[in-house]
Amino acid sequence: NAGVTQTPKFQVLKTGQSMTLQCAQDMNHNSMYWYRQDPGMGLRLIYYSASEGTTDKGEVPNGYNVSRLNKREFSLRLESAAPSQTSVYFCASRPRAGNTIYFGEGSWLTVV
């Protein structure tokens, strides 16, 4: 049972570089989320996808784009990384008929 898998786990980027964080879930969940976690702040929602083919902005979408490639996969792209995007990123998913959210193990991103 893989659950929610996100890659890479660690990444260092230079300012201006682009990268994509990958996320996949094998639980047939409808909703998927990308959060960032910063010291002294709660988990903040970047983007979410209520179902395949739909995406919506969360609290802090600027500087990010997402793709809900299919029901399993939800990727997060940084087009031009900035030091302010240094953070821990969590992907999560949620079934249609339930309330529990299942998280991936996190991706530590440093932008220098």
Residue ranges binding other proteins (CB under 8 A): 4, 31, 40-45, 48, 50, 58, 90, 94, 98-106
What is the smallest separation between the CB atom of 16 and other proteins, expressed in angstroms?
29
Q: Which residue has the tokens 């979408």?
A: 61
Closer of 17 and 73 to other proteins (Cβ): 73
What is the smallest separation between the CB atom of 92 and other proteins, expressed in angstroms?
8
What is the smallest separation between the CB atom of 72 and other proteins, expressed in angstroms?
18
26-46 burial: b if 16+ Cβ within 10 Å, else e: eeebbbbbbbbeeeeeebebb
Closer of 62 and 97 to other proteins (Cβ): 97
What is the smallest separation between the CB atom of 55 and other proteins, expressed in angstroms?
13
Closer of 14 and 53 to other proteins (Cβ): 53
CB neighbour class for 102 (10 Å; exposed up to 12, middle 13-18, buried from 19) = middle
Closer of 41 and 82 to other proteins (Cβ): 41
List, in order, residues 6 or more apart from 25 with CB less than 8 Å away: 3, 4, 5, 32, 72, 91, 93, 102
